[in-house]
Amino acid sequence: MPKDPNTILETAQIDAEDWEIAFKPYGEDPHAALTLACNLMITRAYLTEPVDIESVIESLDEAMQALYPYTLFHKVSYILFRRVAEGKMDLELEEALKKLGIKF
């Protein structure tokens, strides 16, 4: 049975340059940078020792909700934002977003 490209979840690999771009605003707030670093290490610890995986999932969902207003998707839909971020976008959705002027 051939694989359906609409159901295959592709994970994006983040390299050092991506992290540098993402964290550049923290150059102006070292306290926020340290807080983020602590939160990343807490998340990492949960992933290596899944004691309370539900807390990690909730925390990551909260992070997605906090990022949402900073994207072009805030004018359209949080659900669409999540689908694109999760790699669950089909061709029909991609075309609809392009018509709405959302670039990704």
Give tens-digit pLDDT for 20-71. Answer: 888 889 888 888 888 888 888 888 877 777 667 787 788 888 888 888 888 7
For the chain, the domain total comes to: 1
In a domain, 39, yes or no: yes
Q: What pLDDT does residue 90 have?
A: 86
Structural domain that includes position 30:
16-55
Residue 82 burial (CB count, 10 A): 15
In a domain, 61, yes or no: no
How large is the C-alpha radius of gyration of the chain?
16
pLDDT, one tens digit per residue, over 71-101 is 777 767 788 778 877 878 888 888 888 888 8
In a domain, 43, yes or no: yes
Q: What pLDDT does residue 2 have?
A: 47
In a domain, 8, yes or no: no
Q: Is residue 9 predicted with pLDDT exceeding 50? A: no
pLDDT, one tens digit per residue, over 10-26 is 556 777 888 888 888 98
Question: How remote is the C-alpha of 18 from its chain's centroid?
Answer: 13
In a domain, 65, yes or no: no
Q: What pLDDT does residue 1 have?
A: 41
In a domain, 88, yes or no: no
Three-state SS sequence of 13-75:
CCCHHHHHHHHHHHHHCHHHHHHHHHHHHHHHHHHHCCCCHHHHHHHHHHHHHHHHHHCHHHH
In a domain, 31, yes or no: yes
